[in-house]
Amino acid sequence: MSNLVKLLLGLIVAVLIISVSYLIKPILFEVSNKLMESERFVTVRGVAEREVMANHILFELKVSTLVDDIINESSKYEQNCQKAQAFMLAKGIGAQDIAMRSLEVFTNRRKDIPKNLVTCNLVVSTSKVLKARELLSSLDSLVKEGISVKVYEYQIAYGYTKLNDIKPSMVEEANKNAKDAALVFAKHSNATLGKIKQARQGLFSMQDGRRPELIKVRVVTQVDYYLKN
Amino acid sequence: MKNLTFLMIALLIASSMVVSAFMLKPELLVVAENYLNNKRTVVTKGLAEREVKADRVKIPLNIALRTNNLVETSKELADIKKRIMFYVKEANISESEVSFYALNTLEHVYEYDKGAKYTINLNGTIDTANIQGANKFIASTKAMLAEGINLGIGFNEVSYTFNGLNELKPQMIEESVNNAYKVAKQIAQNSESNIGKIKFANQGLFTISDTLIDDIKLVRVVTTITYYLED
């Protein structure tokens, strides 16, 4: 009796071994296919570009006055500085957006002009970009009054602070653009695109736009798509 | 009797192992072959190049006037602006595409810079998609110079750009893929095998570079493709 039980147990083990290998059969096949497929992918890049209106501007306006005597002729440069300030206010820049820095005095190296060049620095930091632009392009009306003003192009900083708002839709656009490129490869190989294996969002960059107040925002994404067929 | 039972059990298990080994043999062979085939590849590169017309141009406008009298010269400056606008219109460029973005009056405070007391510098740009108009405007700088207006456009300061890459992209990739395929096919022929599916492909970077002609740009991409080789 106990021998028969042992024999039966042996039989069960034998059957189990065979059925396990029977079960493993297709899985082995599948695993090797999957391993192969995991190495099949296409790397593509997609770009999204958008031109946005700057929502902040920062620049420095210098007002210079030539005077012989800094103390007795102080009204001269003070007047010029005030005129420039009044001009800014008239152009719609709020008083709270204008900051005045300390005066600069330069002793002229030339003998045939007044001895000193006194410069007052007005720093404008405002969200009224269009009004500031208008101001900058009409600076010659200050010159017309005989006031020497300086705004250097490289010192005008345009800013855009809403990058986070446009980020998702731009990344989406770049990904779609990348997918279009991936489809070209798939078509060539009679394959279909599978899932995304890996995606890398590049850095957002800002460049000069078509007009000074426009900023070109750009992003490149790199996407690896699986190929299936 | 007891020994015989053990023997039989051992025999049963042993034979089941043999059977399963036979069952798994073809699959294991396929797996091994897959593995081997997976290593059999050919890597090729395909180039696509295209010359395109620039679709945007930026012309710097820099005016410098030396003067002793700011008030008088500012009137002259206004006249010069008007004349520039005249030529802008003449070239069919929209006025809104011209911006004057900065102005500075520089005092000449050094001995070596004697003569005029000030220099008024006005900076601006024309940024337009009208290439033809821009070229016409550039050609008219000669006439402006005759009127005494020097825009100070230096060598290589006019910048042409091409922005239509996205429309061009799919067809250029296709072209580069076809080129890569041709090479792969040649290699396969030499080794008496066939080209299979794409194993791996990399689109590569698109580059836009200058040509000898200002308003013509060269768009270029090199695609790398790894194909399976089949017998």
Nearest CB partner across the interface for A110, out of B9, B109, B205: B109
Beta bridge partner(s), residue A227: A193
**Which chain A residues are Cβ-neighbours of B178 within 8 angstroms?**
188
| CATH number of the domain bearing residue B168 | 3.30.110.170
| Distance of alpha carbon A97 from alpha carbon A89, whole angstroms | 10
Same domain, B34 and B49: no
| Distance of alpha carbon A133 from alpha carbon A151, whole angstroms | 12
Same domain, B78 and B6: no
| Distance of alpha carbon A79 from alpha carbon B209, whole angstroms | 52
A3-7, A9-13, B19-23, B190-194: the lowest-pLDDT one: A3-7
Same domain, B194 and B149: no
Taking the domains of chain A in order of start, what are their residue ranges?
Answer: 39-52+162-228, 56-159
| Distance of alpha carbon B195 from alpha carbon B184, whole angstroms | 7
CA distance A80 to chain B (A): 14
Residue A86 backbone dihedrals phi, psi, to 5 degrees: -60, -40
Asked: is A39-52+162-228 a CATH 1.10.645.10 domain? The reply is no
pLDDT of A124 higher than 90: yes
| CATH number of the domain bearing residue B76 | 3.30.70
| Distance of alpha carbon A71 from alpha carbon A99, whole angstroms | 23
Share of chain A above pLDDT 90, in %: 73
Q: Across the interface, do A29 and B111 touch by the CB < 8 Å criterion?
A: no
Confidence of residue A30 (pLDDT cuts 50, 70, 90): confident
- CB-CB contact of B118 with A118 (8 Å): no
Q: State which of B140, B161, B182 marks the end of a domain.
A: B161
- The pLDDT tens digits for B59-77 are 999 999 999 999 999 999 9
**Which chain B residues are Cβ-neighbours of A104 within 8 angstroms?**
none
- CB-CB contact of B225 with B200 (8 Å): yes
Interface test with A, best of B9, B19, B179 (most A CBs within 10 A): B9
pLDDT at residue A1, rounded to an integer: 57
Nearest CB partner across the interface for B197, out of A44, A146, A189: A189
Structural domain harbouring B86: 56-161
- The pLDDT tens digits for B106-122 are 999 888 888 889 999 99
- CB-CB contact of A148 with B105 (8 Å): yes
Same domain, B157 and B106: yes
Q: Which fold, A56-159?
A: Alpha-Beta Plaits (3.30.70)
Q: Which residues contact B156 (CB under 8 A, 6 or more apart)?
A: none
pTM over cut 0.90:
no
pLDDT of B137 higher than 70: yes
Same domain, B204 and B229: yes
- The pLDDT tens digits for A192-214 are 999 999 999 999 999 988 889 99
Fold agreement (A39-52+162-228, A56-159): no
The total number of structural domains that make up chain B: 3
Q: State which of B109, B144, B161 marks the end of a domain.
A: B161
